[in-house]
Amino acid sequence: MSLYLTAMLAIIRREALRFIHQRSRFLAALVRPLVWLVVFAAGFRAALGLSIIPPYQTYITYEVYIVPGLCGMIQLFNGMQSSLSLVYDQEMGSMRLLLTSPLPRWWLLFSKLLAGVAVSILQVYVFLAIAAGFGIVLPLAGYALVLPALLVSGLMLGALGLLISSTIRQLENFAGVMNFVIFPMFFLSTALYPLWKMAESSTLLRDICAWNPFTHAVELIRFALYLELNGWALLWVCLSFVVFFGLALVGYDPAYGMTRRRKG
């Protein structure tokens, strides 16, 4: 068991050092949601006619409503960026060396996934602290209770990025794939507007939002910040993680990769 923990800690340490050396990545992770919170929130609120939103038991401002969605945005982008490093490692050969270790492949990939989630959780809490500086204060206990929700949602979104990275062999192809995943998942969710507001525009779009795993990740975070547990969102996120991670394991299987290259 000590060998497993040593390997996990080594992978987490490597990811932490990479994150420390890439300070622009940390700034970008904060600037992106802050721009949405400070600048775009006013425009969206005016366009949608949403000065206040009744999501659960009380009325909240639009800025407060989108904070959980922006937390999910941080985790979504971080999951994709962590996967970008996997594509880079594949080209450099270090990923291949890692997967040839005597430890199970699922443990190595899970450790890599957990390292990325730890970084994303740090980014989310820094963002919440900055948002509090702008006067967007959430229930105090919610900042602690949201931690498990961030862990589960981060694992699910990171597993999606892991799955995508298993299908890409060249680094330059990753940016295009990210655009086809990140923006549809983000905009077709409840990150920026309630589900009932989407239903007023299109029933089809509303159904897509309801089936979007990112929607349930956002709702899991949103409920946790208000000291509630959304059991349906938790179940959906956990099932999505199992599916994404299982497919990623297949994608990183050497036999599967060899078969695909032969077909190509």
Profile the chain (264 residues) by mean pLDDT over runs of 10 residues: 77 76 70 78 62 52 83 88 70 62 80 88 91 85 93 93 78 68 86 79 85 94 91 94 92 59 44
Helix, strand, coil shares of the chain as percentages rounded to 5? 80, 0, 15
pLDDT on residue 223: 92
pLDDT on residue 170: 65
Q: Could you tell me the pTM of the whole model?
A: 0.84
pLDDT on residue 63: 77
Query: Residue 254, exposed/middle/buried by CB under 10 A (0-12, 13-18, 19+)?
Result: exposed
- Identify whether the C-beta of residue 7 lies closer than 8 Å to the C-beta of residue 101: yes
pLDDT on residue 191: 86
Residues 2 and 100: their CA atoms lie apart, in Å, by 19
Q: Which residue has the tokens 């609120």?
A: 45
Residues 57 and 55: their CA atoms lie apart, in Å, by 7
Furthest-apart CA atoms within the chain: distance in Å:
58
Residues 125 and 130: their CA atoms lie apart, in Å, by 9
How many residues in total does the chain contain? 264
- Identify whether the C-beta of residue 63 lies closer than 8 Å to the C-beta of residue 41: yes
pLDDT on residue 201: 76
Residues 67 and 225: their CA atoms lie apart, in Å, by 10
Closest CA to 228 of 139, 131, 135: 139
Q: How many C-beta neighbours within 10 Å does residue 165 have?
A: 26
What is the dihedral sign for C-alpha 200, 205, 208, 209?
negative
Residues 237 and 214: their CA atoms lie apart, in Å, by 8
Phi and psi for 61 in degrees, rounded to 5? -75, 165
Q: How many C-beta neighbours within 10 Å does residue 15 have?
A: 21
Query: Vertex 243, ends 190 and 112: CA angle to 5°?
Result: 90
End-to-end CA separation in angstroms for the chain: 40
From residue 14, give the alpha-carbon distance in Å to each of 32, 111, 113, 186: 25, 11, 12, 29
Q: Which residues pair with 157 in a beta bridge?
A: none
Structure tokens at 226: 């208000």
pLDDT on residue 264: 46
